[in-house]
Amino acid sequence: MQLTQHTFDPWEVVVQIDGLPFTDFGTGDKVAVAWNNDNVTDSVDNNGNGKSAINHDHSGTFTFSIDPNAANYAHLIDLANNLTGVPVSVTSSFAHFHTDSARITRPVDTTLNAEYPSVSVVFKASVLQVDPITES
């Protein structure tokens, strides 16, 4: 699977999770969006016949590196119990990355250093849309 990924400093983007603005970022926090851009998968069956699945995988992830002591962190953890998924939106100067239904995975990758603690919270989306922003 080929992925395209963009990583942003929080002040470069506007983030909404579950319909609410998410602004509780600190020093060193990051926002990353990755999505599958391999729109064709070729395969061969047992008889040697080729086949292709076209434009079938629109999956992606939103990763938020945040301070576990931040006020919004507890809200993110509560979303882990939402089985239907929540809308997530990240808008940069060049693209709007969004999904109507993303599910949070278990928070992992805790990094503790002298300046700040950081936890990566990952939302997985089966359909992640990327819309370019054009100046008019």
CATH number at residue 73: 2.40.30
pLDDT at 111 over 90: no
pTM of the model: 0.78
Residue 43 pLDDT > 80, yes or no?
no
Q: How many independent structural domains does the chain possess?
A: 1
- Cα maximum dimension of the chain: 60
Over range 104-119, report the average pLDDT.
64
For residue 56, the model assigns a pLDDT of 59
Q: How far apart are CA 13 and CA 2, in angstroms?
A: 24
- Give me the pLDDT at residue 90, please: 97
Per this entry, what is the length of the chain? 136
Structural domain boundaries, residue 35: 3-132
- pLDDT (0 to 100) of residue 123: 92
CB 109 within 8 A of CB 119: yes
Better-scored residue on pLDDT, 111 or 61: 61
Convert the pLDDT of each residue in 50-97 to its tens digit: 776 655 567 889 998 887 777 777 778 778 776 778 999 999 999 999
